[in-house]
Amino acid sequence: MSIKSVVPCLLLLTAMAGPAVAAEALPEAIAVAGESVVLSVHAEGAQVYECKAAADGKLAWAFREPIATLLSEGKTIGRHYAGPSWELADGSAVVGKAVGNSPGATPADIPWLKLEVASRRGNGTLTPVTTVQRINTHGGKLEGSCDKAGEFKSAPYSADYIFLKKG
């Protein structure tokens, strides 16, 4: 067997082992079986909170929306915003609905999420996506009291978003 035939075999084995290893490392609450990766991006942005009256009548910070830039290989390829929505420069977009979560690595980190795609628009990379995972979160939680209803505050965060499709 020549080196030319061994290298493609090793690359194929590495590619096959990669997703399986990654899937096993995710918490059960957000793991996805039987789906393949369409796109993996890094997000940098902020989680925006609003000062509102809680159920007990006291003012507290309530999550309002995310605002983030989606990056691939250091280049901006899209944005993440309220919905929660993800939109790429190619015009494709999806809106998700959270169906599972797992705590972030530290108390300051927003949770990891599994979201089912509830709607889509446009035609492009995100068109076949059925599930979105938010992993490797850093920051994003806002602690402390708020004094004035209607006040907004943001907490910087970063995360990785994995877009998956069935099959």
Give pLDDT, residue 32: 95
The amino acid that residue 77 corresponds to is I
Phi–psi pair at 14, nearest 5 degrees? -65, -45
- Percentage of residues of the chain with pLDDT beyond 70: 86
d(CA 85, CA 96): 6
How would residue 21 be classed by pLDDT, with cut points 50, 70 and 90?
very low
Cβ neighbours of residue 55 closer than 8 Å, sequence gap 6 or more: none
How would residue 145 be classed by pLDDT, with cut points 50, 70 and 90?
confident
pLDDT per position as a tens digit, 78-101: 999 999 999 999 999 999 999 999
Give the pair of three-digit tokens for residue 143: 């602690």
Environment class of residue 59 by beta-carbon count within 10 Å: exposed (0-12), middle (13-18) or buried (19+)? middle
The answer to whether residue 138 scores a pLDDT higher than 80 is yes
User: How many C-beta neighbours within 10 Å does residue 49 have?
Assistant: 21
The answer to whether residue 132 scores a pLDDT higher than 80 is yes
SS3 (DSSP) at 62: strand
Give pLDDT, residue 87: 98
Cis omega (within 30 of 0) for bond into 19: no
The per-residue b/e assignment along 6-37, b for 16 or more CB within 10 angstroms, e otherwise, is eeeeeeeeeeeeeeeeebeebeeebebeebee
Give pLDDT, residue 20: 36
- Residue with the bigger pLDDT between 2 and 143: it is 143
How would residue 127 be classed by pLDDT, with cut points 50, 70 and 90?
very high
Give pLDDT, residue 144: 84
First to last CA, the chain: 33
How many residues are given for the chain? 167
Any idea what DSSP says for residue 110? Answer: P
